[in-house]
Structure 1
């Protein structure tokens, strides 16, 4: 249950096997391990003690995986930074868990100084680029060259491995505490159902700061496969990399798959090496699945449902349900069945299990379930009750144990694979001087699944347009959280207790939909 064990195993058995490929740069497991042990030593010299948090603000690269493994090797804890966040959001996450070291790549250099200037504890900044580091920053490669390798700290089991920040129901992100056991067991559970081996060549197209992508990387390290990556999702570069590196395994959000199929390069690229596509964040559109199966008939599709708090996988829908039989039966729309070692129930508000095919809340327990939210005991108590994680997802389980998600009990929107908590957007909108009150809901969107929609009541005598409110929000929160549409009303529907009735706001958008989520 050590996240570094797969690295030791591969160096012992096949050290010249390729570990990472990033564009023209290739490194074997022997080379990768040497760099990891040196970077771990450098981080320790900079003050990283056991359990200390280290962050990275970067697009995908081989250095991102070196960061993750070296922090674990040196005894630290990952705090990956969401690259879509604004400076205030990033600073909040660094301050919240007292992060002392921040690695920044070339793409985000402009944010480095504002982060350092506004953080409560100014982090040590490391430049992860090929050129000379800017003034006031240390160089990633120079630190590696000057450092001595250190032995693996061998932290594992219940030791904290990462703090992954996710949206908060109260308007502030929550730091999900994942242990080595949480991440390791989630990977082992998936591998037990869908075995992979060292011949696996995985392409990381989703951002590695995201829990699903990082968990995928953990699994590839466990089996000693090869990691390829693109800096950010670009359909043309994904296709070029698939062809060049003969990739056989990839994880995508359905919107990514749709973009790949629509890319002009798709018809001329050889993607015959691809054997497995795992997708998540939302169910797949039937038309998109049909097009993908027609274009790539030898590819196996599987769907994973999960959440950061479950590190992340709860259930998996296997390839068998993505063919003609699964399409005809509707099983392709399922979130699958619980994985090995994962217990799932669908319960009523009292926590009692409901009969099959009855809607309730999904609750989960197992070795993959988080330790809690960093420094948030009340929110931890609400989420973890009697040993069960309450997901906030409304669903039913059929007679064969398949989960079908139909609603969200928690006030969350999933747009393009990203979670957006309504309270975060509402808090940002409420800071505009013209906004009297507001409510944020998710509405159906053909491409993104759901779109962020705001219903706003303006203060008497004041005016603000849709574009003005969006611009205001972008200064406070990530752009993907900002309202894609704004509806102005003279009042919001309220309950007798004065609570905004969001279900009434949602009805006009979802009344003709078979599910209340996309």
Structure 2
């Protein structure tokens, strides 16, 4: 079980098949593998040793994908830097992982000087952008041209594949250590769910640094897919790529789906080639799915739920449960445990609760992380020694094993002694015809302890008012769950993975309070 294995299989089966498309560049399987071997050789020539961390800070590209395979090919360890973090946060991740080499593109080359000052272990910076190579950096293409291709080290098994940092936008970053065996187990389970058809044409528009895209993209490599890569998700560019390349598989996070279906020019594009759409990485509102199905009636939908700590897959909700014949309410489920993964819902003492009761999701399987790098206390909190990983997600499970997430436990609002799950309120708000996106948080209240507060992005051309939205909620859920206040904004703050940064929304309300909500 090693990360580079599918490259050898694809090279044997179809070396001339097109593998990557990025702008006006394209590479066959054979060309891609040769470039991977050359980059691995270049890293070795730069002094990268077995187990060293090699980092990447850049937007999506074909070179990013080459990096992902070249590092384990060279017997080294991946460190995919978060493109939404500050230079200081990424410098922390580079220092914590003791990364010795960093690859950067045009968007992040100006942050290198600051990071170099803070990361003594960083010996080389490789520039993979399109312009002149900045002083003090090495040119990516020149390195490949001069390097001697090396044999694949076939790093695998319990060896570390990568350190994947999480939590920088909500707390101090934690480096999740994922082994080759854990990652392989996760993606073999995903492949068995049928997410990617053999030799599909796959859109890569979600951020490659995030494990959700890395996982589904890797399934694409396992299945011999062609990867059409965009630097980042933009609705017009994504729709043009789907139409122009006949994309039949894509992985998008919910915010991307909302931006696509609400775009005023969506009707100009023929998106009929899209057969499989995978979504995940953050909660999705039921109304968003209904609108997506109306726009693309022929698409098969898959929801993948997981966490970085599970490499990342936990459960999958397949196309059958997205169909009109599915049991009512199934669109609110994140599916059932995927192959080789066990899931249960427990109380605060770790005891399994009755089906239908709300508790915390705990999971176990061969795809669990090895722990958090240099953080034994936080590792023990997540992996207390009973074989189960604590996810921090609140949920219930029905009699057939379908999981229904109610909220992140830290996002639960306690108002007047009652628990309010923000995801439930967000679902109701997004069912209003004038609401494009929303987030619900708890804010300080002298009367209730916390009050339910909504932040709303209106649809183009709409002008909803707070009173109407509150009334809409009170008609559909208990009055205490309805927002007490509503604010409007042009856009919600998002992480690089497309998750709403609720900590940023909460901060102005809690910064003067003695009681803080993380």
Answer yes or no: is 1:301 the counterpart of 2:301. yes
Residue equivalent to 2:173? 173
Q: What is the CA–CA distance in structure 2 between the aligned matches of 1:238 and 1:128, rounded to whole Å?
A: 23
1:185 aligns with 2:185: yes
Deviation at 1:348, TM superposition (A): 1.5
Deviations 1:29-77 (A, max 9, x none): 0000000000000011112111110111100000000000000111111
Taking the aligned partners of 1:139 and 1:481, their CA distance within structure 2 comes to: 39
User: Shift in Å at residue 218 of structure 1?
Assistant: 1.5
Superposition TM-score, scaled by structure 1 size: 0.81
Partner of residue 416, structure 2? none
Task: Report whether the alignment pairs 1:154 with 2:154.
Answer: yes
Distance 1:15 1:349, change over 3 A: same
1:51 aligns with 2:51: yes
| 1:236-251 paired onto structure 2 within 5 Å | 236-251=236-251
What residue number does 1:271 align with?
271
Deviation at 1:492, TM superposition (A): 4.0
RMSD of aligned alpha carbons: 2.7
**Where in structure 2 are there 5+ consecutive unaligned residues?**
413-421, 431-435, 447-494
Alpha-carbon separation, structure 1, partners of 2:34 and 2:516: 57
Instruction: Determine whether 1:387 maps to 2:408.
Output: no
3-state SS of the aligned residue for 1:484?
A: helix
After TM superposition, give the deviation of residue 448 of structure 1 in Å.
Answer: 5.3
1:26 pairs with 2:26: yes
**What SS does the aligned partner of 2:11 have?**
helix
Q: Contact between 1:283 and 1:303, CA under 8 Å: does it hold in 2?
A: no
Instruction: Tell me: CA distance 1:260–1:169, structure 2 relative to 1, closer, same or farther (3 Å).
Output: closer
Q: Retained in 1: the 8 A contact 2:362–2:390?
A: yes
| CA distance 1:169–1:160, shift in 2 (3 Å) | same
Structure 2 match to 1:370: 369
Alignment length (residue pairs):
449
Rate the CA distance shift 1:384–1:482 in 2: closer, same or farther, 3 A. Answer: closer
Asked whether the 8 Å contact 1:283–1:334 carries over to 2, the reply is no
String of CA shifts for 1:206-262, please: whole Å, max 9, x gaps. 100001011112111112211111101100000111111111000111121111112
**1:68 corresponds to 2:68:** yes
Residue of structure 2 equivalent to 1:109: 109
Residue 450 (structure 1) aligned to one of 439, 442, 449 = 439
The separation in 2 between residues aligned to 1:489 and 1:152, in whole angstroms, is 52
Please say if residues 203 and 250 of structure 1, whose CA atoms lie closer than 8 Å, have aligned partners that are also in contact.
Answer: yes
1:312-391 matched pairs, under 5 angstroms: 312-326=312-326, 329-385=328-384, 386-391=386-391
Tell me how far apart the structure 1 counterparts of residues 37 and 273 of structure 2 sit (CA, whole Å). 33
- Cα 1:325–1:456 change in 2 (3 A) is same
1:483 aligns with 2:504: yes
- Partners of 1:128 and 1:452 lie apart in 2 by 40
TM-score scaled to structure 2, two decimals?
A: 0.81
Shift in alpha-carbon separation, 1:36–1:16, aligned structure 2, 3 A: same
Name the SS of the counterpart of 2:208 in structure 1: coil
Q: Report the 3-state secondary structure (helix = DSSP H, G, I; strand = E; otherwise coil) of the residue aligned with 2:334.
A: coil
Summarize deviations over 1:89-119 as a string: whole Å, max 9, x none.
0100000110110000011111111111222
Contact 2:253 2:279 in 1 (8 A): yes
**1:400 matched residue in structure 2:** 400
Q: Is the 8 A contact 2:212 2:281 kept in 1?
A: no
